[in-house]
Amino acid sequence: MRTRVMKAVGFLAVLAAVAAVAGVAAPSAMSSDCDTGAYWNVLSRYLGSGVGQSCNGFGPSTGETEVSTFGGGYSTIRGFCSDHNGTWTQSVLLQYNVAWRFFSCEWVGVYNNHPDLIWVNAHHNDS
């Protein structure tokens, strides 16, 4: 009996550790309404490594244009388009301050694909 309890406790400890590691390794993205009162309407803040943020579009359109500036000395950052469930439907490496047009997008966002905490600005408009 004691051996079974110890095995069960050990199994639960391993399961908890695997779940914790999976949670840390999984991409994290926050979503919100676009801030229509600000130029950097997707976000203007620090993003940790493996963290992203998206916002919903302004309304029905054939395309969504996104532009981003960011720190850290990098020349690209991951831009993405997702559906209402948060599943990425398109992604691209956005060049620094160069607009990219996504088609058939519900949400647009940026994702820090670099190992550092960096400042990110992102602007979105319907096109």
**49 in Cβ contact with 42 (< 8 Å):** no
**110 in Cβ contact with 43 (< 8 Å):** yes
Alpha-carbon distance of 85 to 111, in angstroms, equals 17
Helical H segments across the chain, by residue range: 2-25
Where do the domains of the chain lie? 28-126
Residue 9 is predicted with a pLDDT of 39
Higher-pLDDT residue of 65, 26: 65
CATH topology for the 28-126 domain: Jelly Rolls (2.60.120)
Q: Which of 30-34, 56-60, 71-75, 99-103 has the lowest mean pLDDT?
A: 56-60
What percentage of the chain has pLDDT greater than the value 90?
A: 44
Alpha-carbon distance of 22 to 13, in angstroms, equals 14
**pLDDT at 36 > cutoff 60:** yes
Tens-digit pLDDT profile for residues 68-96: 999 999 999 999 998 878 889 999 999 99
